[in-house]
Amino acid sequence: MVATDSEWIVLSDPDISQNELESVACVLRSSRLSSGEWVERFEDTFAEYLNRRYAVAVSSGTAGLLISLRALGIGPGDEVIASAYGWHQIAHAIALTGATPVFADIDYWSGTLAPDKTELKITPRTRAILAGNSNGHPAAWQPLRELAQQHGVALIEDSTEAVGSRYRGALTGSFGDVAVFDFSQPSALVCGEGGMIVTDDPDLASELRYYRGRSLEERFSISIASRLPFQSGMSDLTAALGLTQLERIDEILARRKRTEMWYQRHILSFEGIKPAYVAPEVDEVHWMVYLVHLGTRFTRSARNQIVDDLQTARIEAPAYCNPLHQQYYYSALGYRRGDLYVTEKLADRALALPFHAHLDEDTIAFIVQTAKDSSINVGAGAAIYL
């Protein structure tokens, strides 16, 4: 399948079967579309999938982190250490609570928060470390856990880019005091929008549910005190789609692995290409997008030219990341380009290629060849590498 004048090769295309259609239709035929039985079933099944005690469905990953920070008592005057590198960028929730995001640099190979660089950012005001599984690659959870325990701060897992990856035998989402998922595209598990918070702490789970929103049954309650809840729950429509996707998650991930195999087959045929990095302690990675890092002789503008060339060929392939510390809002905190060398080095050269189960091998060959031709033109023959 090669793009024609009337179609694009899209970055993300959800893996939807007849099962999902039937589940959504079942909700539409019912008397309840808002949060109800389907949400509860999705929560229970998701917690069981991750072997965690509690799951709380929310409207988005950002809402999930905002609620988690509030439930942990984090707000104005507090600091949360986070990575500036990522796709979903739920770290915006730190600023939304009134806390201060403190950005630490990342590991060059995995793209995840570097524990040694994180430790340098810890101050008496630090209340939590927010570490993400960048593009599906698990963070260094064992040293991050040890660091959090040593300094008495919470460890929050941003798993908005990772479903199904494994670190030391456990699924991503297993490692934080709370972990946050996002189910918008280009996630492997797609509900349109929505997210999930998981934890093993019953008191924290109770707080998470309180902050998520008040139910209809609580409308006459006088329990609201100094803590105001958000209205950020999930609908039964969204939950029906998510639950059915979760029941098919092994099939969905296997189909995406086939796409990854085809990419590797074609990209590795080029001289100088390196396979995607997987850390020794990582058992399995399920990528969110197919990420290519251009060689160091390429500039940010050269990467952008490749994006433009791919768009001309009707291939949707954006830059993977615009680092948070380089975005205008955070300049008020004093961040400037040059503050996070590795983050900037990777972000300037990172290119996200289409990645989903509806691609065939001929289409992937076309995508890779188009990117390769463009890279030669803008980079004077310099190789690209993963």
CB neighbours of 167 closer than 8 A, spacing ≥ 6?
138, 139, 141, 174, 175, 281, 282, 283
Would you state the CATH architecture of domain 250-385? Answer: Alpha-Beta Complex (3.90)
**Cβ neighbours of 35 (radius 10 Å):** 19
Which ranges of 123-273 would DSSP assign to H, the alpha helix? 141-151, 202-212, 236-247, 249-267
CATH of segment(s) 18-247: 3.40.640.10
**Amino acid identity, residue 381?**
G
Structure tokens at 91: 């770290």
Strand locations in the chain (E): 54-58, 79-83, 100-104, 126-132, 154-158, 166-167, 170-171, 178-182, 195-199, 282-284, 290-294, 350-353, 384-385
What is the structure's pLDDT at 201?
Answer: 98
* Sheet containing 154-158: order of strands: 54-58, 195-199, 178-182, 154-158, 126-132, 79-83, 100-104
* Sheet containing 384-385: order of strands: 350-353, 290-294, 384-385
Cα dihedral 30→33→34→35 (10° resolution): 60
Token pair 């002789």 in the structure block, residue: 297
Specify whether the CB–CB gap between 82 and 62 falls below 8 A.
no
Calpha distance 154→313 (Å, rounded): 46
Residue spans per domain, the chain: 18-247, 250-385
Specify whether the CB–CB gap between 198 and 65 falls below 8 A.
no
pTM to 2 decimal places: 0.92
- Over its length of 386 residues, how does the chain's per-residue pLDDT go in tens digits? 444 445 899 999 999 999 999 999 999 999 888 888 999 999 999 999 999 999 999 999 999 999 999 999 999 999 999 999 988 888 899 999 999 999 999 999 999 999 999 999 999 999 999 999 999 999 999 999 999 999 999 999 999 999 999 999 999 999 999 999 999 999 999 999 999 999 999 999 999 999 998 765 655 565 555 678 788 999 999 999 999 999 999 999 999 999 999 999 998 766 545 568 899 999 999 999 999 988 887 889 999 999 999 999 999 999 999 999 999 888 888 888 999 999 999 999 999 999 999 999 999 999 999 998 888 888 645 555 55
